[in-house]
């Protein structure tokens, strides 16, 4: 089953996203219009795990939803996804990781978006030498970086403290990769 596209119009575009309107034929054969948001480049998500079995989380003020607790993440900006993941971890948390493993890919809001994402598990964490509070953190509205034991992170999902769907999905991929869920 598919959604044949008869025409496409780009209605908005910037360096990060494109919004298009597709004239489609729905699966039932009727004509319709479908709005699609496309990321210009894939995004990356980093589940950073300490030796004490803690996940590094950031609290960020998002223009769209307000306060949000998330794993470090961001756009690839045309870089290789692993290079971007390393950059995002350092910028958002002041940490570097010795070991990196790609643990999955996902698509955000696939009912209205084409937003490919790559998820990494980062271990062997250390502070970036001499790293003061990052200007990137302030620019992005990151107001807290903390380490939370894995068992408590699950509780933050359960009690609604973590509501970011991509963070929840990235955490699930990490738990699967670590053999904690099957």
* Tokens representing residue 89 in the block: 């971890």
Has residue 90 got a pLDDT over 80? yes
What is the average pLDDT across 105-132? 91
Banded pLDDT at 164 (limits 50, 70, 90):
very high
Q: What number of other Cβ atoms are within 10 A of residue 111's Cβ?
A: 7
Has residue 45 got a pLDDT over 90? yes
């Amino acid at each position: 089953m598919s959604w044949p596209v008869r025409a496409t119009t780009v209605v908005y575009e910037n360096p990060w996203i494109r919004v298009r309107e597709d004239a489609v034929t729905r699966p039932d054969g009727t004509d319709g219009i479908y709005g699609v948001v496309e990321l210009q480049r894939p995004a990356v998500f980093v589940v950073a795990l300490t030796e004490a079995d803690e996940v590094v989380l950031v609290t960020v003020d998002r223009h769209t939803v307000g306060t949000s607790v998330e794993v470090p993440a961001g756009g690839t900006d045309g870089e290789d996804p692993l290079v971007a993941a390393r950059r995002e971890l350092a910028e958002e948390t002041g940490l570097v990781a010795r070991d990196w493993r790609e643990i999955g890919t996902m698509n955000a809001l696939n009912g209205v978006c084409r937003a490919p994402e790559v998820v990494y598990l980062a271990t062997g964490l250390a502070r970036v030498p001499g790293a003061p509070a990052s200007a990137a953190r302030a620019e992005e509205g990151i107001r807290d970086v903390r380490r939370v034991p894995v068992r408590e992170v699950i509780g933050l999902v359960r009690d609604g403290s973590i509501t970011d769907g991509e963070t929840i999905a990235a955490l699930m991929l990490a738990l699967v990769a670590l053999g904690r869920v099957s």
